[in-house]
Amino acid sequence: MHGYRGKILRVNLTDHTWKVEDLDEKKALSYIGGRGLGSKIMAEEVDPNVDAFSPENKVIIATGPLTGTPTPAGGRYMVVTKSPLSGTIASSNSGGYWGSELKFAGYDLIILEGKSPKPVNVFIEDDKVELRDASHVWGKIVSETTEALAKEAPDKAKILCIGPAGEKLSKIAAVMNDINRAAGRSGVGAVLGSKNLKAIVVKGSSKPTIANPDKLKEVTKAARQNIKDNGVTGQGLPTYGTAVLVNIINEGGVFPTNNFQTTYFDKAENISGEHLAENFLIKRESCFACPIACGRYAKADDIEGGGPEYETIWAFGAACGVSDMKEVIKANYWCNELGLDTISAGVTIAAAMELYQRGKIKDNDIDEGLSLKFGDAKSMVEWTKKMGNREGMIGDKMAEGSHRMGEHFGMPEVAMAVKKLELPAYDPRGIQGQGLQYATSNRGGCHVRGYMISPEILGLPQKLDRFAIDGKAEWVKIFQDLTAYIDSAGLCLFTSFAIDAKGYADMISAVIGQEFSDADILEAGDRIWNLERNYNLKAGIDPSQDTLPKRLLEDPIPDGPSKGNKSRLSEMLPIYYNIRGWDESGIPKPETLQKLQVEA
């Protein structure tokens, strides 16, 4: 098949051996690649009840058939493993250039097994694979690690690594690549840390073949034009980055503030994308083959680096009551350098601030010179560093994520999280479909498994009433399924503002040379969704976890443009289960799994 490279690199970290296996084409066609195929391999090879940090857990780094092809924004890879944070199957997604380079080296996936006796790096240059001692970079921050390994690697090699947070098994640690791109969520970086794997360096020199280059040219040309003509992908994201959302979401009164205690931040303008562009932006950055270039690169005082993204600005901004963009840029910088997920890191600090507000953390618990007051921007930056390095009692607890930290201080409900994964920057009380999506996402509180902000706020592909619940279950299912496909194909989710299922079907058909219809795309997504669900159920993730933090279900929004609303999850959930072909308790019916050919 075209598009794929047809090879899997399997690395045994325990005994430092590796082998190359053929890709199973039938399985690839069913599960596409990336998130889908990675999850399928997890389901086949890893017991759902495995401890995430045990050598029996595996990490599958998976590209899709469109990764490294000329399709727009086709440069993504997935880190699939069992999450130490949520206990669910995890699949964290990143852009940049590492994923496409893995394809250029000739591999679709890497399967990492076992545990190295001591820190190790994997070097890949086409068919040369080598495991090398990593003791000289163990403990180093991400930029220093990357620079040091670049010296040992072929020119322009691409580098993926973990930071100190991953080494120290922080449950909110990210896998980083190309210095400032992150497979951020679910603590996947800590699983690499548990395996003593610091970095994977890759350099390739050949490209995936295309089944029908003329057709692909025609299809991608149309896709690029759609991306240009679309207000979000052609104007909003290129001009202001993802932070273009700050003012939009705040004006809607769904911008969670002070750990979701309120939903309108009166100083949002100071942390807006506009303010970033006008005062701190150095450049825009694009990932592999991306026509949007939403990436930012900013400088504050003597600190500069990639980002900050919208979610990061919110997590270190409104969620912590902070309106100082300089300090947000610094907190973001330290997350990238230490290898922390910015959403979980910011929301965990916000939760700690609420624990202090409610007297659960006392003044004498707090490290000297710091505070846990909402709005203390400088302390927030210091907490970020302490969290990433597990310094001090509170920093060490923060590294476990908001739920476990809350439990420690006797108030687990302080965690604004679903399945222990911290929620992102949209209050579901004023966006009903997004709430259903948070509650049912297979990796927990996540916005990018079905981005209902698109129809409910941005009006794409059509504007829905965000306060209504009618039809939301149907929309959530379609968005979840389409996203599962996109994540599996190796594309960026942002293309979906401008491209529909038919457009995606045309692209993969032209690349791999097998005809896909829009229905095939959605069915593949549905299959992947059910496989993940099934894995989670076996892992003991009970459907009772398909819920939201109590505050969002019971406390109406106190003021602002969405005042008086709360999540009506309980009304939507049964409809959603039914539409999914699941029984009333949320278990996929045998006929559903059979129809999708997912093994029970």
Q: Which member of 45, 128, 135, 283 binds its own copies (CB under 8 A)?
A: 283
Taking the alpha carbons at both ends of the chain, their separation in whole angstroms is 28
Nearer to its own copies (CB atom), residue 269 or residue 599:
269
DSSP-derived letter for residue 340 is: B
Nearer to its own copies (CB atom), residue 141 or residue 200:
141
Q: Which member of 166, 291, 321, 346 binds its own copies (CB under 8 A)?
A: 291
To the nearest 10 degrees (0 to 180), the angle between helices 472-489 and 501-512 is 20
CB of 226 to its own copies, least distance (A): 12
For 191, how many CA atoms within 13 A lie in the half-sphere containing its CB? Answer: 35
How many residues bind its own copies, per CB under 8 A? 43
DSSP 214-268: HHHHHHHHHHHHHHHHSIIIIIIHHHH-GGGHHHHHHHTT---BTTTTBS--TTG
Please, what's the largest Cα pairwise distance for the chain? 68
CB of 201 to its own copies, least distance (A): 15
> Could you give phi then psi for residue 208, rounded to 5 degrees?
-60, 145
Which part of the chain contacts its own copies (CB under 8 A), choosing from 5-13, 221-229, 379-387, 569-577?
Answer: 221-229
Task: Determine whether 171 is exposed, middle or buried from the number of CB atoms within 10 Å of its CB (0-12, 13-18, 19+).
Answer: buried
Q: How far apart are CA 94 and CA 562, in angstroms?
A: 33
Structure tokens at 433: 């479909």
Nearer to its own copies (CB atom), residue 116 or residue 146:
146
* Contact between 412 and its own copies per CB under 8 A: no
Q: Which of residues 68-87 bind its own copies (CB under 8 A)?
A: 70
Nearer to its own copies (CB atom), residue 145 or residue 258:
145
* Contact between 284 and its own copies per CB under 8 A: yes
* Contact between 127 and its own copies per CB under 8 A: no
CB of 449 to its own copies, least distance (A): 26
Placement of tokens 């949002």 in the chain: 268
* Contact between 63 and its own copies per CB under 8 A: no
Site string for its own copies, 294-323 (x = CB under 8 A): -----x-xx-xx------------------
* Contact between 285 and its own copies per CB under 8 A: yes
CB of 304 to its own copies, least distance (A): 5
* Contact between 326 and its own copies per CB under 8 A: no
Q: How far apart are CA 562 and CA 255, in angstroms?
A: 10
Q: How far apart are CA 446 and CA 419, in angstroms?
A: 10
Any residues with CB less than 8 A from the CB of 54 and at least 6 apart, and which?
194
Nearer to its own copies (CB atom), residue 279 or residue 570:
279
* Contact between 224 and its own copies per CB under 8 A: yes
In the three-class reduction of DSSP (H, G, I as helix; E, B as strand; rest coil), residue 206 is classed as coil
CB of 170 to its own copies, least distance (A): 23
CB of 203 to its own copies, least distance (A): 8
CB of 288 to its own copies, least distance (A): 6
Nearer to its own copies (CB atom), residue 235 or residue 578:
235
DSSP 255-324: --BTTTTBS--TTGGGGSHHHHHHHTEEEEE--TT-SS--EEEEEETTEEEEB--HHHHHHHTGGGT---
Q: Which member of 278, 413, 515, 542 binds its own copies (CB under 8 A)?
A: 278
Nearer to its own copies (CB atom), residue 56 or residue 126:
126
User: Interior CA angle at 254 toward 340 and 281, to 5°?
Assistant: 50
CB of 277 to its own copies, least distance (A): 7
CB atoms within 10 A of CB 600: 10
* Contact between 463 and its own copies per CB under 8 A: no
Measured in whole angstroms, the distance separating CA 112 from the mean position of its chain's CA atoms is: 20
Q: Which member of 290, 338, 347, 505 binds its own copies (CB under 8 A)?
A: 290
| Contact status, residue 39 vs residue 461, Cβ threshold 8 Å | no
Q: Which member of 274, 365, 391, 583 binds its own copies (CB under 8 A)?
A: 274
Q: Which of residues 132-161 bind its own copies (CB under 8 A)?
A: 143, 147, 150-151, 154-156
* Contact between 217 and its own copies per CB under 8 A: yes
Which part of the chain contacts its own copies (CB under 8 A), choosing from 24-32, 293-301, 484-492, 563-571?
Answer: 293-301
Q: Looking at beta carbons, which pairs linking 377-383 to residues 24 or more positions away fall under 8 Å?
A: 377/320, 377/322, 377/323, 377/324, 377/326, 377/327, 377/328, 378/327, 380/316, 380/320, 380/322, 380/327, 380/331, 380/349, 381/327, 381/330, 381/331, 381/334, 383/349, 383/352
Which part of the chain contacts its own copies (CB under 8 A), choosing from 21-29, 212-220, 465-473, 508-516?
Answer: 212-220
Task: Determine whether 357 is exposed, middle or buried from the number of CB atoms within 10 Å of its CB (0-12, 13-18, 19+).
Answer: middle
Q: Which member of 135, 235, 570, 594 binds its own copies (CB under 8 A)?
A: 235
* Contact between 289 and its own copies per CB under 8 A: yes
DSSP-derived letter for residue 52 is: T
* Contact between 212 and its own copies per CB under 8 A: no
* Contact between 391 and its own copies per CB under 8 A: no
Any residues with CB less than 8 A from the CB of 302 and at least 6 apart, and which?
none
Structure tokens at 428: 């579901």
Q: Residue numbers of the site for its own copies (CB under 8 A)?
A: 70, 97, 100, 104, 143, 147, 150-151, 154-156, 203, 205, 216-217, 220-221, 224, 228, 235, 238-239, 274, 277-279, 281-291, 293, 299, 301-302, 304-305
